[in-house]
Structure 1
Amino acid sequence: MKGNRRRRVSSDGAHWIPFVEKVTWPLLMLAVFFAAETGATSIGTWMNLGLQGLDVLHNPQAYLLGAQPLCSRLSGLSRGQTKLCYLYQDHMAHVARGARLGIHECQWQFTNRRWNCSTVDDSSVFGPMLSIGSREAAFAHAISAAGVVHTVSRGCRDGQLANCGCSQTARPRTLRRDWIWGGCGDNVEYGYRFTEGFVDVRERELNHPRGTRAQARKLMNLHNNEAGRRAVIRKIRVTCKCHGVSGSCSLVTCWQQLAPFREVGDYLKDKYDGATEVKINHRNKLQIRNPRYNLPTAEDLIYIDESPDYCVSNEKTGSLGTEGRVCNRTSLSTDGCNLMCCGRGYNTHKTTVKERCKCKFHWCCYVECKTCHYVLDIQSCK
């Protein structure tokens, strides 16, 4: 599952980032086959499934006789992903939920940043920003892959997928002997492997000249996809429940359970803050740009391009700028007006807020509240 990482040092002292050895399994073999057969991907990204409102499980129209096949109607999929979609149609609702989960978590994590993970109304999801190999793109790939692992693993546990069921992971050695290892755990093993095959095939379809920036971006995306998948595994936990008469806890059953996705988002946000800049070398490998820094592991995020200036609007880079963004004049953090407004200053205007207040419980049985009006000062960037 974790793969073997070998640290190698070249003759000129550069540190190479070795590629993580993958788990061989049927879906990954199919993905590689499709990549060899196609050779090109469609415009957009599979993350667009998260914005399409796709829910196959509650969409019987998708299976009507004579209707256009479901997978051919999904924008953003590459050719290999479309073929995998035909083989695993019942998985696609979970892929869509995973993409949506990743987008929402990204927007929550970056609410108070200059780049706030805003989306656009096309199949690229994040607009031109995603075409830049920045640390923001690294986070977007990682959190989206993590979202799919999370939803597919949970779908297996809930019996919603034909190819998998409850987790079959081995009993932890640290578990007490008198506790039962059972229940129906989240099948993160299957979720990891399916996501690896489905998400990575998009990159593996592309055949770029060796040593080019396009090849570097391909390796960057593959690395960050893996980092996102491993983040879910890193945060998995063992959950136990007591059984017995009158809460005696005479029997304890334990199983494998996913952590709340917010913990995965927090973990990847830390990886974003410590992301490592890399470049491609003459051996077609990614190499850290500054040899004084530590070699990133398979769980770290990497990037090849500096982030664009998110202070001003720029259609070319996809930056929306921070003009008009709400800020906090008393904060010294990223939501503070000094940082958010990039030194341009801010405007202050008053707004009236209505809230329920002075609530009282009356016997029996209702709550009576008054409506209070508050005048607040709101700051927004110039």
Structure 2
Amino acid sequence: SNHSYFLQKICLSALLLTATSTSSPVRYLAKLSSVGSISEEETCEKLKGLIQRQVQICKRNVEVMDSVRRGAQLAIDECQYQFRNRRWNCSTLDTLPVFGKVVTQGTREAAFVYAISSAGVAFAVTRACSSGELEKCGCDRSVHGVSPEGFQWSGCSDNIAYGVAFSQTFVDVRERSKGSSSSRALMNLHNNEAGRKAILNNMRVECKCHGVSGSCEVKTCWKAMPPFRKVGNVLKEKFDGATEVEQRKIGSTKVLVPKNSQFKPHTDEDLVYLDSSPDFCEHDMKNGVLGTTGRHCNKTSKAIDGCELMCCGRGFHTEEVEVVDRCSCKFHWCCYVKCKQCRKVVEMHTCR
């Protein structure tokens, strides 16, 4: 039904943006799917994990919620890619919150999750604007005329202003509704904005040449978002250099400042955190930590993906496995590539 299709589209975003609920998303989705035939606006009311103000935004922007879901999935996929070789590898759980309790604590992992999630929503909504999916927005019409460099602004410039504004409205409202003066609310709001800045500060100009035989007599250009992988790379660097902060009152305003006064103040683009992270070595389902037993490791690496660090000193198993690769590929005129299948035995190492 349309009702359950809408639920499937939006549930992931609701799960990702929920930091405190402990009910099972599978049971929750099944329960909602049995409500019956109701309007999509009424469905917004039934979505567990959204606060009332988010429900109101959902009702006013039902067509945008599919982009919110896509943004949430983008964020999960990118988080798992960026942390694939680390002890905490951004695994999702069948309980809420989907990343485990590590995101309910003020850790640097939580900082990354909030930043990449906020960026994912902004990115997906902007992409939907540019592709003509949404009636409320389109290309950025403020980019027009001739640039100082002499090229003509044309084509469809990404409407990042709309995507960022929607992310601020929908994602940040959770922290603002609780009163944004607590240390954790300030941390979340800061990291949400840092996620969006990772897109804004990496916008690029793309151009197309027009002229005889591909000459560039006339060049038309437009503004485009970076690939989301670039956003993930930027935020992963910010994660590695995240600043530990504490709350301080300056005048009548509560702000976050570096815990170590010798460190320079963080910028709007940096990630900040309040609490030290666990080592993620041992299985601890109470806190959503899966541990590293059974994880693949690199025997020759001295970095965090190496067996010594990944396995937390517990040692590792080694086994020989056969893998099949394409090899001896040849291009045949015209026009296909033919390859052989080569089998080889490789060593695979997994943590004890």
Taking structure 1 as the reference length, what is the TM-score of the superposition? 0.78
**What is the DSSP-based 3-state SS (H/G/I as helix, E as strand, rest coil) of the residue aligned with 2:234?**
helix
C-alpha change, 1:72 and 1:348, in structure 2 (3 Å) is same
1:326 alignment counterpart: 296
Higher relative contact order (CA 8 A, sep 6+): 1
Aligned mates of 1:304, 1:348 — CA distance in 2: 39
Aligned residue among 283, 289, 293 for 1:313: 283
Contact 1:75 1:123 in 2 (8 A): no
- Within the alignment, does 1:259 sit opposite 2:231 as a pair? no
Aligned mates of 1:158, 1:306 — CA distance in 2: 42
Aligned mates of 1:281, 1:156 — CA distance in 2: 40
Aligned mates of 1:116, 1:254 — CA distance in 2: 39
2:104 alignment counterpart: 131
- Within the alignment, does 1:346 sit opposite 2:310 as a pair? no
Q: Measure how far apart 1:311 and its partner are.
A: 0.9
Aligned mates of 1:81, 1:67 — CA distance in 2: 17
Aligned residue among 80, 83, 87 for 1:107: 80
1:277 alignment counterpart: 244
Contact 1:81 1:201 in 2 (8 A): yes
1:192 alignment counterpart: 164
Contact 1:354 1:374 in 2 (8 A): yes
Q: Percent identity of the aligned residues?
A: 49
| Residues 232-272 of structure 1, C-alpha deviations (whole Å, 9 max, x = no match) | 10110111111123323221111110011111111111111
Aligned mates of 1:172, 1:229 — CA distance in 2: 27
Contact 2:126 2:159 in 1 (8 A): yes
Amino acid of the residue matched to residue 222 of structure 1? L
Aligned mates of 2:193, 2:333 — CA distance in 1: 58
Q: How does 1:358-377 map to 2 (within 5 A)?
A: 358-361=328-331, 368-377=338-347
- Within the alignment, does 1:302 sit opposite 2:275 as a pair? no
1:144 alignment counterpart: 117
C-alpha change, 1:364 and 1:249, in structure 2 (3 Å) is closer
**What is the DSSP-based 3-state SS (H/G/I as helix, E as strand, rest coil) of the residue aligned with 2:287?**
coil
Q: Measure how far apart 1:366 and its partner are.
A: 5.8
RMSD: 2.6
Amino acid of the residue matched to residue 256 of structure 2? L
| Residues 180-205 of structure 1, C-alpha deviations (whole Å, 9 max, x = no match) | 11211100011111110110001112
1:216 alignment counterpart: 183
Aligned mates of 1:172, 1:340 — CA distance in 2: 54
Contact 2:16 2:72 in 1 (8 A): no
2:129 alignment counterpart: 156
C-alpha change, 1:295 and 1:75, in structure 2 (3 Å) is same
Aligned mates of 2:334, 2:207 — CA distance in 1: 40
C-alpha change, 1:183 and 1:350, in structure 2 (3 Å) is same
Q: Measure how far apart 1:319 and its partner are.
A: 1.3
Aligned mates of 2:103, 2:333 — CA distance in 1: 58
- Note the residue ranges of structure 1 that are not aligned, 5 or more in a row: 1-42, 53-60
Amino acid of the residue matched to residue 257 of structure 2? Q
- Note the residue ranges of structure 2 that are not aligned, 5 or more in a row: 1-13, 20-24, 26-32
2:208 alignment counterpart: 241
